[in-house]
Structure 1
Amino acid sequence: MKMKGVTCSCRWQVEVFSLRSGVWRNSYGNLSNNLVNLERPHSQVTIDGSIYWFGVENTVGSDTEYCFLISFDLTSEEFGEIYLPNELAFRDKVELHLFNYCDSLAVIRQRILDDMIQVWRKGNGDSKSFIKLFTIKKPYRYMSSLPLGFRMTGELMMRKANNGEDSETLIDYDLFSHHINDLGIESKCSSLLVCSYKESLILLDQSDI
């Protein structure tokens, strides 16, 4: 799927690619006209047939921006909006990270000033509310670590910068026991990334995917 702002228009143009037909379909979709930008579109999360991104809108009557979540249902091809608690919505966008946590939508806020990590999870069922699960103080020698995602067992994977070196190490952090495990994977130039996947069999001739 591709999305872009249309010149001289307050609407967004949406293009959806079908694996079955092998072509792009043009659609304006039902995105909010107030949407200013998609924040870090490459860091999307897919859960239960919907894709999620951070979006940015302006507060009505002011220039104040706030973050919220945009969803795209892969079956109905419709967009939705999920509004975040004020504690997340009006914070610096670079502090926020979107992840899949145990098959639930989760937002991590890494507070820059005191290096605390907050883990928020979307409510179960039809609820669009978020609840705060954890507030974590990172150990001193891991202050420069950056959250990358969650393992299936719930540990938070982070990229730890090695002091005095142009390198980084992949670690995981148990949110309950606070145990930190060095996974033995190193890289340079902030190139460590983590992606989730599920093994599945897709029959392209059975449905329009």
Structure 2
Amino acid sequence: MRDGIDLPEEIVIQILVYLPVESLVRFRCVSKSWDSLITDPSFVSLHLRRVMARQDRSVVLLRHYSLTQCKERNTLYLDGESFSEHQELEFPLKTNDTYYLAGSCNGLVCFSDYIINNLQVILWNPSLRKCVQLPIPRFIDTDLTHTYVLGFGFDSRREDYKVVRLIYILGKSWSVIVPPVVEVYELKTNAWRGIQTAVPYVIPESSSQAFVNGAIHWIGYNLDDKVASHSKSIVVLFDMHDEVFGEMELPKGGDYENRLNLSLAVHQDSICLLHCHPMEEDGHQLYGVCWVWVLKEYGASDSWTKLFTINIGQHGGIGRVLSFRKQGDVLLVTHNDELVSYDLRSQRISRLGLYGVARSFEVIPYMDCLVLI
């Protein structure tokens, strides 16, 4: 055995794979051989599989602009019987640019800035406190007005993380032209490449995404209809391995004309639809009721099931529904920019003492991860 360690390497691996990322980072200094072992892609993958299989506590990353501290905060919270602050993280990029969440997967978080013609995409590993700025995408055209949509996920068969980017050229009267230009970034190659595929779908820039079953999902519509505002809303998906687009129907019988009232999320490894119903208060649009539908059998549009109803109209209305907690409650932002926990059984809210700009709140699953090491 190397470096005076009187154990076979296979045994050392089986010991190290159970250690947290913080310890493994320190142990890289033990020797060159340990550094090589811990940073080896096969060990990184093995450690991730172990973490995913044995995660025994729920930790989330709460990102928001605090109104009380007048700054952006990235904070880990323990999501058990209570929702308690565990540790504040420092975003590794020293910049005044505003980054929005493009997606998260297996402990990695993907951000993008708002500068269309100088697009920056960032992959951040909070457990390593490390980020990587992706190369500038291939399609950067300052002469044509365009908008773009990003998706982020994991190709389990290639064991690689990918970012997909759809670029829509805008024509007269800001009409969207299809098909969009599509390009894919692969972490292993650290490069973008274009893909040739017919994409008849339009995905609004504001559409949320959900990564489930090896595919990214957005709310979108098919441009076969002449009038986009009256087009039928659907779930548009992109398979991360085969790199093809598809679609799924929404629950039957619903009024999905206003896509601003629709968003996608993940609930217990299943894709779910949040269908919120507006209410007016002091000239601001809020939501009094939000229906949560879950797709019981993936790919079968007739298996949508209404799981529960969120109703806090009596508390002043919902600003945004953020995330489902481990205990079954829901984290949401109220009409007065306060983060609360909503008990689905009693339909009561618990105040968490957190206030922030409503659109800045993001709740991201946190996981020990060695990717980017």
**Fold equivalence (TM over 0.5):** yes
Structure 1 unaligned residues grouped into runs of 5+: 163-167, 205-209
Please say if 1:38 is aligned against 2:204. Answer: yes
- The residue type paired with residue 181 of structure 1 is S
* Alpha carbons 2:212, 2:269 under 8 Å: kept: yes
- In proportion to residue count, which structure has more helix? 2
Of 187, 207, 212 in structure 2, the residue corresponding to residue 47 of structure 1 is: 212
- The residue type paired with residue 222 of structure 2 is E
**Aligned-residue offset at 1:191:** 2.5
**Aligned-residue offset at 1:60:** 4.5
1:124 corresponds to which residue? 297
Distance 2:370 2:246 in 1: 27
- The count of residues paired between Structure 1 and Structure 2 equals 196
1:74 corresponds to which residue? 240
User: Per-residue CA shift, 1:40-79, capped at 9, x if unaligned?
Assistant: 24x2111232211111234657662121111112222222
Please say if 1:4 is aligned against 2:167. Answer: yes
Distance 2:170 2:360 in 1: 34
Distance 2:371 2:185 in 1: 16
1:195 corresponds to which residue? 364
1:137 corresponds to which residue? 311
The normalised TM-score by structure 2 is 0.47
Please say if 1:28 is aligned against 2:196. Answer: yes
2:325 corresponds to which residue? 151
> CA 1:89 to 1:5, structure 2 compared with 1: closer, same or farther past 3 Å?
farther
- SS of the counterpart of 1:10? strand
Distance 1:18 1:153 in 2: 35
Bigger mean CA deviation after superposition, 20-29 or 141-150: 141-150
- The residue type paired with residue 65 of structure 1 is S
Distance 1:55 1:143 in 2: 26
Distance 1:39 1:60 in 2: 19
2:335 corresponds to which residue? 161
User: Per-residue CA shift, 1:113-144, capped at 9, x if unaligned?
Assistant: 48222111112254233121223432512424
2:278 corresponds to which residue? 112
The normalised TM-score by structure 1 is 0.79
User: Who wins on radius of gyration, i.e. which is larger?
Assistant: 2
- The residue type paired with residue 17 of structure 1 is Y
* Alpha carbons 2:312, 2:318 under 8 Å: kept: no
Distance 2:351 2:324 in 1: 15
User: Per-residue CA shift, 1:152-207, capped at 9, x if unaligned?
Assistant: 33322111133xxxxx2111112223232222222136432223344444489xxx
Distance 2:251 2:347 in 1: 26
Taking CA–CA contacts closer than 8 Å with sequence separation of 6 or more, which of the two structures ends up with the larger relative contact order? 2
* Alpha carbons 1:98, 1:107 under 8 Å: kept: yes
- The residue type paired with residue 25 of structure 1 is R
- SS of the counterpart of 1:140? helix
* Alpha carbons 2:319, 2:358 under 8 Å: kept: no
- SS of the counterpart of 1:21? coil
- SS of the counterpart of 2:301? coil
Distance 1:46 1:22 in 2: 21
- SS of the counterpart of 1:38? coil
